[in-house]
Amino acid sequence: MLHLIFQWPADESLFLTRFADRDHIILLANASYAAIRTEKSEQYIEQLINKHISIHILADDLLPRGLNQAHLVSKINIINYVDFVRLTESHAQVLTWN
């Protein structure tokens, strides 16, 4: 399943249980802030990676928020709109989180 996440919740612990092995996540809009490298974000990103979940962030959402690759957890893939469309097309189910 592909998860389009626009707002990362305050309580990640409950949220993290919503993903299955081999899901894909795209962080969009304000969810981009969840990818900033901190001890806490490294921990929950590692939990997702251990479940073989791929995490992506849309490049065009970084610059308006003053972010770049140096700010992010290293295991997050920065994608463009073409990649976004390809991921959407390759998943039968897409779930949007607002």
Which of 8-22, 42-56, 57-71 has the lowest average pLDDT?
8-22
Q: What is the pLDDT of residue 17?
A: 81
Tell me what the pLDDT averaged over the chain comes to.
Answer: 92
> Is 49 within 8 Å of 20 (Cβ atoms)?
no
∠ CA 67-48-90, nearest 5°, is: 85
Distance CA 57, CA 15 (A): 18
Computed from CA positions of residues 80, 86, 91, 92, in that sequence, does the dihedral angle turn out positive or negative? positive
Three-state SS at 94: strand
Catalogue all structural domains in the chain, each as residue range(s) with its CATH number. 2-97 (3.40.1260.10)
Distance CA 90, CA 86 (A): 6
